[in-house]
Amino acid sequence: MRSPLPRAVLTRLETGRLVVLSVLLGGLVGALCVGLRLLLERLLELGAWLTGFSPPGTPGEGGLLMAFGEALPWGLLALPLIGAAYVWLIPREDGDPLNQLVRGAHTRGDTPTLPTQLRTLAATLLGHGAGLLVGRDAPYTVLGGLGARLLGRATRLDAVETRSLTLAGAAAGLGAVLHAPLAAAVLVAEVLYRRFEFEFEVLMPCVLASVAAYAVYGLAFGFLPLLSVPEVGVPTLAGVGPLVGVALAVTLAGWAALLICRVFPDAWTRGSRRVALGGAFGLLTAAIAWWGTPGVLGDGSGWAQVGLSGFLDEAALGEGAWRWLLLALGARLAFGGGVLPSVGVGGLLGVGLGSVLGADPSLAALVGIVAFVTVTLNAPLAAALLVVAWGGDALLPAALVTAGLAHAISGETGLLPAQVRSRAQSPAPLPVLLPGAGPVTIRRAPAVPSPLLPLHAAPPGEPETGLAPLESEQELYRRPVPRSWAGARLSVLSLPPGVEVVGVVRGGAVTVPRPQMRLTADDELVFLARPDAYAALEGVLRLPGV
């Protein structure tokens, strides 16, 4: 069964498969996003008829810059019911779509079930269409996961491919709606961890899928940036001080919102109390829209565009403060999650603070967006790339400095409870374990000391400065029996050096392998191997006809 092809050829074929699947997934998600945008336009028209007010939209998504009219009291009475329905449809354990994505990535690709995804999609469409604090990017994120599920039905995927393509599908959906494919890909790879860490092996599938999706989406609706930013340049020396003040103030506002959303006890967000709180959130939104300002309706990205265009000054502080309050109170109920609600809050606070401090409104809005997205999502690089995609490369120095400052001040807090601190704490990279078993560590007896001096050892007479590098540990892997192995005896299998079969899962039970045991198509094999040796085996098994 061992392939005669060289290792370099096998690696290239294996990489090529993931590349092709990522591009196909991006094209599929892009086509689905075209239909989703048409559906959202109808839902937003229905929501405007219901509440009597249509929030401003973003130019990239075909929205109007200004909105006129007043909210209707009888239409606003529907918001408590819609808020309760939104919370009821989204499972408490999973949270908003972006948190569902992160949670699934850290549970070895255990993505939400199809009913959960469909319920979440319905909830996000309902909430966003009615004007609650649900980002336009939320249904696109869910749609990316559904696209990955459809691709998995068309071709057989292993656990690693399923996880990578699920993340790539979400990046494709975000790349389409944000009109920033590179920033969306970096966001998905960066948002998994609270610390500044990436999974570089999933970054390239995310880039390919996101670019392909945006290409299809752009053919249908054009390639305008999401936000129309006036031409801005590098801040002058006199303008640095006010912009630093904006960045610090918005960072502290985001950090305070995270503290407030953790004040509520967990018991309040369970069962019927959670649904009641969802209705109360809808009622609060309706009350602010009627007695305060109807500008609280929608995800806020359109109001950020109004501020960028220079139509708001100090009044943007009030609009941003109301949205900040709703985000802080609704985050535990899956309101305000995702990217665009943070863009709206950060942009409005930036415009208002910039007007007070004498900073350029456009620059202040973009600095506020970078700072707030960095704090809420723990994604400093993605936040910087977003505003660069919308406003041009001249924003890169200011965006990077703002992102670094906000990340250093806010620490490792965030809106996504599924985030883990670092990659070392994520169970996803661990091998697939036996059913019902706990973590397995392969222990070896200490090696006999060698009389030879290792190359990494310190010279005689000098203290050791570090530990000797450890050899690669063996790990357990579990995979279905390849089609070509069905009916074969274990004794005739040809495995790469360093790979051995240590168990056969048949009928839900693990049995000890015997040389004369014949494999069936329903069996699963448990391998004990070094990671490099198992990678070689997977490369052979992915060849056509194997």
For residue 542, what pLDDT is reported?
A: 72
202 and 255, same structural domain?
A: no
Q: Residue 98: which of 187, 162, 176, 224 has the closest Cα?
A: 187
| Distance in angstroms (rounded) separating the CA atoms of residues 252 and 410 | 8
Counting Cα atoms < 13 Å in the Cβ hemisphere of 132 gives 35
Asked if residue 497 is part of any domain, the answer here is: yes
Provide the 3-class DSSP secondary structure of residue 479. Answer: strand
Those residues whose C-beta lies under 8 Å from the C-beta of residue 22, and which sit 6 or more positions away, are 164, 165, 168, 204, 205, 206, 208, 209, 212
> Is residue 36 predicted with pLDDT exceeding 90?
yes
Higher pLDDT, 169 or 475: 169
Distance CA 446, CA 489 (A): 35
150 occurs within a structural domain: yes
The helix (run of H) or strand (run of E) holding residue 123 is helix 114-130
* pLDDT score of 456 more than 80: no
- Asked whether residue 483 is domain-assigned, the answer is yes
Residue 192, token pair as written in the block:
């998994």
- Give how far Cα 417 sits from Cα of 15, 185, 375, Å: 33, 21, 14
Q: Which residue has the higher pLDDT, 163 or 268?
A: 163
Domain match, 198 and 326 both: no
For 15-18, the CB contacts below 8 A with 24+ separation are: 17/542, 18/161, 18/164, 18/205
| Phi–psi pair at 477, nearest 5 degrees | -130, 150
Looking at the fold, whether 208 and 244 belong to one and the same domain comes out as: no
pLDDT at residue 463 tops 70:
no
Cβ proximity of 103 and 94 under 8 Å: yes
Q: What is the average per-residue pLDDT within 133-162? A: 92
Q: What is the 3-state secondary structure (H, E, C) of 493-544?
A: CCCCCCEEEEEEEECCEEECCCCCCECCCCCEEEEEECHHHHHHHHHHHCCC
Kindly report the backbone phi and psi dihedral angles of residue 416, in degrees, each rounded to the nearest multiple of 5, phi listed first.
Answer: -100, 105
Residue 358: CA count within 13 A, CB half-sphere: 6
Q: What type of residue is 42? A: R
Query: pLDDT > 70: what percent of the chain?
Result: 86
Which tokens hold the place of 6? 């060289």
pLDDT in tens, 493-545: 888 888 888 888 887 677 888 888 889 888 888 888 888 888 888 877 876 55
| Parallel, antiparallel or unpaired: strands 499-506 and 509-511 | antiparallel
Based on the domain organization, do 241 and 211 belong to the same domain? no
Identify whether 112 is part of a domain. Answer: yes
**460 lies in some domain:** no
Question: 228-237, 317-326, 430-439: which range is least confident on average?
Answer: 430-439
Which carries the bigger pLDDT value, residue 388 or residue 162? 388
Q: What is the pLDDT of residue 14?
A: 54
Same domain, residue pair 50 and 131: yes
Return all residues near 71 (Cβ < 8 A) that are at least 6 apart. 51, 52, 53, 286, 289, 290, 294, 297
Report the C-alpha gap between 167 and 190 in whole angstroms. 11
Residues 6+ apart with CB under 8 A from 283: 79, 80, 83
Looking at the domain assignment, is residue 65 inside a domain? yes
Question: What is the mean pLDDT of the segment spanning 88-110?
Answer: 85
Position 458: which residue type?
A: A
What's the average model confidence in pLDDT over 434-453? 40
Question: 247 and 214, same structural domain?
Answer: no
Q: Tell me: do 170 and 39 sit in the same domain.
A: yes
Residue 109 near residue 166, CB atoms below 8 Å: yes
Encoding tokens for residue 378? 């723990």
Q: Is 383 within a domain?
A: yes
Q: Is the pLDDT of residue 251 over 80?
A: yes
Domain with 526 in it: what CATH number?
A: 3.30.70.1450
Q: What's the CATH code of the domain at 241?
A: 1.10.3080.10
In this predicted structure, the answer to whether residue 237 has a pLDDT above a threshold of 90 is no
Between 169 and 155, residue with greater pLDDT: 169
Residues 257 and 306 in one domain: yes
DSSP lists the bridge partners of residue 518 as 489
Q: What is the pLDDT of residue 443?
A: 39
3-state SS string for 134-202 = CCCHHHHHHHHHHHHHHHHHHCCCCHHHHHHHHHHHHHHHHHHHHCCHHHHHHHHHHCCECCCCCCHHH
Domain of residue 376 covers 237-410
CA distance 459 to 479: 46
Whether residues 297 and 253 share a domain: the answer is: yes
Q: Tell me if 192 sits within 8 A of 152, measured CB to CB.
A: no
User: Is there a single domain that holds both residue 53 and residue 135?
Assistant: yes
Q: What is the pLDDT of residue 12?
A: 54
50 and 87 both lie in a single domain: yes
CA distances, 544 to each of 3, 14, 15, 214, 485 (Å): 11, 11, 14, 30, 14
Closest residue by Cα to residue 312 from 136, 130, 56? 56
Find the mean pLDDT for residues 385-411. 94
Asked whether residue 378 is domain-assigned, the answer is yes
> What letter represents residue 209's amino acid?
A
Six-digit token pair at 499?
A: 């790979």
Sign of CA dihedral 531, 534, 540, 541: negative
Query: 340 and 137 in contact (C-beta within 8 Å)?
Result: yes
pLDDT score, position 196: 87
Shared-domain flag, residues 206 and 244: no
**Contact criterion met (CB below 8 Å) for 520 and 506:** yes
Say how many domains are in the chain. 3
DSSP code for 480: E
For β-strands 475-480 and 499-506, DSSP reports them as unpaired
What is the reported pLDDT for 428? 65
